[in-house]
Chains A and B, each alone.
Chain A
């Protein structure tokens, strides 16, 4: 397959949970190396879209392919970077162990010492500048250090598509910039497509090729200048929304749910993800 073919292709993709329609008739082609920001209020199905691409969630109707194939669990074609989370200080896991789990943690059995695997993990850690702290316990690392390791973990399988779910949340500005720079470098060097779910477009605005904006079953796709406008968002939300540009930043005022932009920033909620079913 050539590099010009889309890495992600959605056709008439529709996702419903019971009576609730998250999005319908979604058509999207993502080119290699393209950076797509996925925006929308809480419950609009941003995380669910990532789950579809990870092969964890089936579409209600329509079709989806990643690199021409139906997404399946545990595929190396797709890398996943979650939001930063707090690890217990005494969690018996080093940064390098977290990265290594990205390589073969999903396989049955026990990992045997392997020079090839170790070299691969070392390379991934080095590529994100995490060598200095990769052997420290994970619970003692800062959020920014963790996210570097997360990116190394996600890139270990050499994915063609990188799915990021609020990876900048609860990071300070400097670490937000460092994290986005790593993601940007990867997509430029390896032509990895990036789908970047976020409440806050400004930290990634310079990188964004296109915005996918999801609101209550409706959606819009296009370059930021075309989607992030008062007219377009007002139509999506079905109410008057003002999009202002202040010193190179985009500020959305009046969007119901106030789940993005500078209004109510920091609040995060996964609608479908909320009830993890994890016994013991």
Chain B
């Protein structure tokens, strides 16, 4: 089949829609993940979506719904255990280790353990049902709306927490909402690239964007664009190359964009600096 033939197929169209939406929300949270030093929270919630997916399979034969519900549990657990900033990473580590153990145990009750595990860990968006796609679309829409409302106070609280608090931003509440948004986004991204490779959509595009600009709006826009190119491009490329999984393409494209941005960005960061007379 040619690419044109594939694009006529419903499940391919659905996968592309989901891939695009997930890329948009991943690219949107990426700059905040970096500014708030939440990369480990991304990795932790992503890996724990493995447990959620396994639980979903065992309970209702639905890995996607299980992963999404599980991500809310994980966000709540991190929020409760990691109240203070310096406790956060250790709290994530504690939950991550135990949660993954539970996931392995749950999945071992399933037939075809290793192939199911591979799908969850490395992504298998083309195997997701129509209902599950619409669930992903609905959650992505919710994340998009929440991020639009949260954007300004979240930016303020992330880059300048003391003054944000002084100006009336409720930093703790904003942080908790972002944690939920992050967990949902990461779980969605895990459906496309797999739990192990989520960082390629949630961090790499934003990291590349930061090399090219210091304007928050431009960085956010570029981050979304890069995530879109990697996600949709990777899905399309994998249709042409059946032996190579989409997640391999996505991580590769994402990394290539980062390398290019890194090289191109050296010119941007060396700016004319004007010394201030005292």
A94 touches B215 (CB 8 A): yes
Q: Knowing A108-B153, A276-B85 are in contact, say whether A98-B148 is a contact too (CB < 8 A).
A: no
Measured between beta carbons, the chain A residues less than 8 angstroms from B41 are 280
Residues of B at the A interface (CB closer than 8 Å) are 31, 35-36, 38, 41, 78-79, 82-85, 88, 148-153, 155-157, 159-169, 171-172, 175-176, 178-179, 182, 209-211, 213-216, 219, 269, 271, 273-274, 276, 278
Interface size on A, residues (CB 8 A): 53
B82 touches A279 (CB 8 A): yes
Which residue in B151, B159, B171 is a CB contact (below 8 Å) of A278?
A: B171
For residue A225, CB closer than 8 A to chain B, the reply is no
For residue A136, CB closer than 8 A to chain B, the reply is yes
Distance from A86 Cβ to chain B, minimum over Cβ atoms (Å)? 12
B84 touches A276 (CB 8 A): yes
For residue A253, CB closer than 8 A to chain B, the reply is no
B163 touches A144 (CB 8 A): no
Q: Knowing A56-B166, A105-B155 are in contact, say whether A277-B83 is a contact too (CB < 8 A).
A: yes
Measured between beta carbons, the chain A residues less than 8 angstroms from B168 are 55, 72-75, 106
B276 touches A133 (CB 8 A): yes
Q: Knowing A110-B151, A137-B271 are in contact, say whether A280-B160 is a contact too (CB < 8 A).
A: no
Per-residue interface assignment for chain A, residues 237 to 280, with 1 indicating a CB less than 8 Å from any chain B CB and 0 otherwise? 00000000000000000000000000000000000000111111
For residue A19, CB closer than 8 A to chain B, the reply is no
For residue A221, CB closer than 8 A to chain B, the reply is no
Tell me, in angstroms, the Cα distance from A74 to B79 when the chains sit together: 25
Tell me, in angstroms, the Cα distance from A44 to B160 when the chains sit together: 25
B278 touches A144 (CB 8 A): yes
Q: Knowing A94-B215, A279-B83, A280-B178 are in contact, say whether A106-B169 is a contact too (CB < 8 A).
A: yes
Measured between beta carbons, the chain B residues less than 8 angstroms from A277 are 83-85, 171-172
B163 touches A80 (CB 8 A): yes
Which residue in A85, A93, A132 is a CB contact (below 8 Å) of B276?
A: A132
Q: Knowing A142-B276, A280-B182 are in contact, say whether A106-B219 is a contact too (CB < 8 A).
A: no
Q: What are 28 of the A-B contact pairs (CB < 8 Å)?
A: A56-B165, A75-B168, A91-B159, A91-B214, A92-B35, A92-B213, A93-B159, A93-B216, A101-B163, A101-B164, A106-B152, A106-B153, A106-B164, A108-B153, A109-B151, A111-B152, A137-B269, A138-B159, A138-B214, A144-B276, A144-B278, A177-B278, A277-B172, A278-B84, A278-B157, A279-B85, A279-B179, A280-B82
A178 touches B152 (CB 8 A): no
Majority SS of interface residues in chain B? helix
Please give me the 5 A-B residue pairs with the lowest Cβ-Cβ distance, nearest first: A74-B168, A174-B278, A73-B168, A105-B156, A137-B214
Tell me, in angstroms, the Cα distance from A280 to B45 when the chains sit together: 12
For residue A21, CB closer than 8 A to chain B, the reply is no
Could you say which of A56, A105, A132, A142 has the most chain B C-beta atoms within 10 Å of its C-beta? A105
Measured between beta carbons, the chain A residues less than 8 angstroms from B157 are 278
Tell me, in angstroms, the Cα distance from A108 to B41 when the chains sit together: 24
Query: Considering the complex, which residues of chain A in the window 77-129 have a beta carbon less than 8 Å from any beta carbon of chain B?
Result: 80, 82, 85, 87-88, 90-94, 97-98, 101-102, 104-111, 129
Which B-chain residue is minimally distant from A105 (CB atoms)? B156
Measured between beta carbons, the chain A residues less than 8 angstroms from B78 are 279-280
Which B-chain residue is minimally distant from A173 (CB atoms)? B278
Which residue in B152, B166, B211 is a CB contact (below 8 Å) of A108?
A: B152
Q: Knowing A136-B273, A178-B278 are in contact, say whether A276-B150 is a contact too (CB < 8 A).
A: no
Measured between beta carbons, the chain B residues less than 8 angstroms from A142 are 276
B156 touches A278 (CB 8 A): no
For residue A175, CB closer than 8 A to chain B, the reply is yes
Distance from A96 Cβ to chain B, minimum over Cβ atoms (Å)? 9
Which A-chain residue is minimally distant from B180 (CB atoms)? A280
Tell me, in angstroms, the Cα distance from A72 to B168 when the chains sit together: 8
Measured between beta carbons, the chain B residues less than 8 angstroms from A175 are 278
A102 touches B172 (CB 8 A): no
A92 touches B31 (CB 8 A): yes
A110 touches B276 (CB 8 A): no
Which residue in B84, B175, B276 is a CB contact (below 8 Å) of A148?
A: B276
For residue A200, CB closer than 8 A to chain B, the reply is no
For residue A184, CB closer than 8 A to chain B, the reply is no
Measured between beta carbons, the chain A residues less than 8 angstroms from B211 are 90
Measured between beta carbons, the chain B residues less than 8 angstroms from A98 are 159-160
